[in-house]
Amino acid sequence: METKSGGKKKFDAYIEAVKDQQKSVLWPDVLRGGRSVDELFWKGARDAPLIQRIGVAIFALAYLAVAVVFVSIAIEQASWAACLFAALLFGVGAWFVRNALRK
């Protein structure tokens, strides 16, 4: 059975890429992976896969939900501190949504 040499090389490159992605349990690799996640959340990585963008959007919805809770607390108790905290959470959540939708 003959195989194309280009196909074999592509397959080997794919296997190496998968191995590189799975070795993120050692300290320097964890640091590198964390850096890319921080970049995705705060700067919006343009090459992020769709599933990562969906994850960022879900994470942002958690911030927005907590912000809504703090807004209701601020309205009930007329608390400026709760209102300020809600605005901060809303800003962070909106920033994450912006970066999730950025392409």
For every residue of the chain, DSSP letters joined together read ----HHHHHHHHHHHHHHHHHHTTTSHHHHHHHHHHHHHHHHT--TT--HHHHHHHHHHHHHHHHHHHHHHHHHHHHT-HHHHHHHHHHHHHHHHHHHHHH--
CB neighbour list of residue 10: distance below 8 Å, 6 or more residues apart: none
Domain membership flag for residue 94? yes
CB atoms near residue 30 (< 10 Å): 12
Total count of domains within the chain: 1
Domain membership flag for residue 22? no
In this predicted model, what pLDDT tens digit does every residue of 11-57 receive, in sequence order? 999 998 888 777 766 777 777 777 778 888 888 888 888 999 999 99
Whether 60 and 96 have beta carbons less than 8 Å apart is answered as yes
Residue keyed to tokens 């700067």: 43
In this predicted model, what pLDDT tens digit does every residue of 74-98 receive, in sequence order? 999 999 999 999 999 999 999 999 9
- Which residues form the domain of 82? 66-103
Domain membership flag for residue 41? no
Report pTM.
0.66
Domain membership flag for residue 52? no
